[in-house]
């Protein structure tokens, strides 16, 4: 399965629909970005091409998802 198929399956499963999905990809094509959000992605991020870029991304993502965001309670 590719990422698009995986996203589709996640969003079709009632138990997983509310799980935030971050797309990490090499594509910056407007079509791919639009399709991801239309399919239920929570965020669309271009993959870094350096180790330092990955460290920066991991730090930013963990700060965002674990420190800033308020998610609804799970049922």
State the pTM of this model: 0.81
Structure tokens at 34: 């639009």
pLDDT of residue 75: 64
Write the pLDDT tens digit of every residue in 26-45. Answer: 999 999 999 999 999 999 99
Domains and CATH numbers, the chain: 3-68 (3.40.50.2300)
Measure Cα distances from 48 to 52, 53, 56, 57, 64 in Å: 8, 5, 9, 8, 17
Return the half-sphere exposure (C-beta side, CA atoms, 13 A cut-off) of residue 13.
9
């Amino acid at each position: 399965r590719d990422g698009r198929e995986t996203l589709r399956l996640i969003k079709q499963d009632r138990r997983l629909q509310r799980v935030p999905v971050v797309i990490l990809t090499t594509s910056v094509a407007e079509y791919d970005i639009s399709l991801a959000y239309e399919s239920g992605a929570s965020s669309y991020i271009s993959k870094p091409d350096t180790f330092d870029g990955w460290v920066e991304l991991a730090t930013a993502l963990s700060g965002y998802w674990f420190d800033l965001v308020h998610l609804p309670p799970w049922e």
